[in-house]
């Protein structure tokens, strides 16, 4: 006798699992009751306020992974999000922030900028040191050769920043690319005519590359929320060096990127934008790429080698008093246990970015490993349409952990 799986069951359970992983409710049954009550309420079009106002384990609803919310380019989709605004959890807002960035086909070989004289801003030793520190983790600079990097550093100039200062206004023309030395900044995007806070920078990172890369108006407004300091790179130098470098990257990674199952929902032009923001990092055998419990700021795709994923057994959950833990205490507290291997073409490090939580596992290089790395802003801006595939994998994580430990409660969330 064949058993028929009702339509929508799989998706419903996947959504629920993701919410459980995200919320880590203490009382799973209570959470489930609230979650499905909310789901029903939403489906029948009733007001959602009662559940929104409840305090414990508030389900954030399936709208979190609503395909519409994940759609690319909500620029002109004025109304759809309005009714749901209150319902959409912060994590969703992080993904609907996708700005319109039309993919201008560019041919750097035709750029007139190459004929321009080189820009140099003299610097003191102290300034150069501070600049180098600020630039060392900037992904867009990672693939530059030493000569290109030195030209970039020569061309950059310092800009002190006051609280409240508008560094960039959406829709303006792009003048500079900015690297943060210190200070905090809000990112605002107009969605349906209304300016919304979609993220922030906290004393690190860079912004202002999109208008320069694609010759488009600024896609967001950036406002300083503290005093600070920025390093600026003029448009001409940016295009001469970074954009040209991106063209090389596109050639190098085009075939690989096209082959990734994760990115199948992206248009070819969008996949190329993914290449533009990726940078390659190499790790030695045994090197830790991600530490469980750390704050997350990157997403990884394995280009070559093997990446070992491990989790720590939690001390608390190994005690008999925790009724949720069915795992046998075979391992000592905090021992790291292998849970998965990622090979070429596979990805990791998405979970913490999706859930806005600390890293759920650690990742180590097995042999020499090359990863393509993307920062959180680019991940959110570009990979919304790939969320369905990620969501499926996230649902598998719990199964993996249950198979290994008998319960996900056996996993500690302590910092590494
Ligand atoms: P640019 O469009 O040149 O100027 C605004 C910058 O804000 C943009 O480049 C990105 O560097 C940055 N930014 C950060 N988050 C977003 C976002 N969600 N949408 C658009 N731009 C963003
Ligand atoms: P993140 O939590 O950001 O960092 C660690 C990564 O390990 C995680 O994202 C996933 O990409 C990956 N991972 C693989 N298997 C699991 C699992 N069973 N549980 C948690 N994370 C896993």
Q: What pLDDT, on a 0 to 100 scale, did the predictor assign at position 179?
A: 98
Residue 226 pLDDT exceeds 60 = yes
Same domain flag for 340 and 273:
yes
282 and 358 inside one domain: yes
Residue 392 is assigned to a ligand binding site? no
Give a yes or no: residue 395 inside a domain.
yes
Does 398 share its domain with 273?
yes
pLDDT band at residue 115 using 50, 70 and 90 as cut-offs = low
Give me the CATH number covering residue 390.
Answer: 2.60.120.10
Q: Which domain holds residue 156?
A: 118-240
The answer on 269 and 209 residing in a single domain is: no
Same domain, 124 and 154: yes
- Look at residue 51 and tell me if it is in a domain: no
Cβ(352) to ligand 2 under 6 A? yes
Number of structural domains, the chain? 2
61 lies in some domain: no
Residue 320, domain member (yes or no): no
**How many angstroms separate the alpha carbon of residue 93 from the centre of ligand 1?**
15
Residues 219 and 266 in one domain: no
Q: Does ligand 1 lie within 6 Å of residue 273's CB atom?
A: no
Per-residue model confidence as pLDDT tens digits over 253-310? 999 999 999 999 999 999 999 999 999 999 999 999 999 999 998 999 999 999 999 9
- Predicted confidence (pLDDT) per residue in 324-372, tens digit: 333 343 444 578 999 999 999 999 999 999 998 999 999 999 999 999 9
344 is in an annotated binding site: no
Number of residues assigned to the chain = 416
52: nearest Cα among 67, 42, 65, 66: 42
> Are 267 and 407 in a shared domain?
yes
Does residue 366 share a domain with residue 266?
yes
Among 91, 308, 348, the mutation site with the greatest number of ligand 2 atoms within 8 A of its Cβ is 348
Position 33 pLDDT exceeds 60: yes
**Which of the listed residues 179, 208, 240 is the one where a domain comes to its end?**
240
d(CA 274, CA 299): 12
Answer whether 209's CB lies under 8 Å from 218's CB. no
Report the alpha-carbon distance of residue 276 to residue 140 in Å, rounded: 8
Check: CB of residue 338 under 8 Å from CB of residue 405: no
Check the annotation: does 218 bind a ligand: yes
DSSP 63-109: GGG-HHHH-S--TT-TTHHHHHTTTS-HHHHHHHTPPP-------GG
**Model confidence at 107, in pLDDT bands (50, 70, 90)?**
low
Is there a single domain that holds both residue 277 and residue 397?
Answer: yes
pLDDT of residue 204: 93
Burial class (CB in 10 A: 0-12, 13-18, 19+), 61: buried
Ligand 1 neighbourhood includes 222 CB (under 6 angstroms): yes
- The verdict on 284 and 370 lying in the same domain is yes
Q: Is the CB of 378 under 6 A from ligand 1?
A: no
Q: Ligand 1 within 6 A of 199 CB? A: yes
Same domain as 265, residue 407: yes
Question: How far from each other are the two terminal CA atoms of the chain, in whole angstroms?
Answer: 50
Ligand 1 centroid – CA 197 distance (Å): 12
Please indicate whether residue 339, judged by its CB atom, sits closer than 6 Å to ligand 2.
Answer: yes
């Amino acid at each position: 006798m064949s058993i028929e799986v009702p339509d929508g069951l799989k998706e419903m359970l996947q959504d629920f699992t993701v919410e459980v992983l995200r919320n880590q409710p203490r009382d799973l049954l209570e959470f489930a009751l609230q979650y499905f009550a909310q789901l029903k309420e939403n489906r029948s079009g009733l007001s959602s306020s009662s559940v929104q106002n409840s305090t414990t384990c508030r389900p954030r609803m399936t709208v979190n992974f609503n395909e519409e919310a994940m759609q690319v380019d909500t620029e002109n989709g004025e109304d759809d999000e309005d009714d749901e605004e209150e319902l959409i959890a912060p994590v969703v807002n992080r993904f609907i922030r996708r700005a319109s960035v039309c993919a201008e086909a560019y041919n750097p070989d035709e750029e007139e900028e190459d004929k321009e004289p080189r820009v140099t801003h003299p610097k003191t030793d102290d300034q150069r040191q501070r600049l180098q520190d600020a630039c060392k983790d900037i992904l867009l600079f990672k693939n530059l050769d030493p000569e290109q990097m030195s030209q970039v550093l020569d061309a950059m100039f310092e800009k002190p920043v006051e609280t409240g200062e508008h560094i960039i206004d959406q829709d303006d023309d792009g003048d500079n690319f900015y690297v943060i030395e210190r200070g905090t900044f809000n990112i605002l995007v107009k969605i349906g005519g209304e300016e919304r806070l979609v993220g922030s920078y906290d004393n690190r990172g860079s912004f202002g590359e999109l208008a320069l890369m694609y010759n488009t108006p600024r896609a967001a407004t950036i406002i300083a929320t503290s005093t600070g300091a920025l390093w600026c790179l003029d448009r001409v130098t940016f295009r001469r060096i970074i954009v040209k470098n991106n063209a090389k990257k596109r050639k190098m990674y085009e075939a690989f990127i096209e082959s990734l199952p994760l990115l199948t929902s992206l248009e070819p032009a969008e996949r190329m934008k993914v290449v533009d923001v990726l940078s390659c990092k190499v790790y030695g055998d045994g090197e830790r790429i991600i530490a469980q419990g750390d704050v997350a700021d990157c997403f990884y795709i394995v280009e070559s080698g093997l990446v070992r994923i491990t989790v720590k057994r939690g001390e608390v959950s190994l005690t008999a008093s925790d009724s949720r833990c069915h795992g046998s205490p075979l391992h000592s507290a905090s021992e790291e246990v292998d849970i998965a291997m990622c090979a070429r073409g596979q990805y990791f490090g998405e979970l913490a970015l999706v859930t806005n939580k600390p890293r759920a596992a650690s990742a180590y290089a097995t042999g020499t490993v090359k990863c393509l790395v993307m920062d959180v802003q680019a991940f959110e801006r570009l990979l919304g349409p790939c969320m369905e595939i990620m969501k499926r994998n996230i649902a598998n994580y719990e199964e993996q952990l249950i198979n290994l430990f008998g319960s996900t409660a056996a996993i500690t969330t302590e910092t590494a």
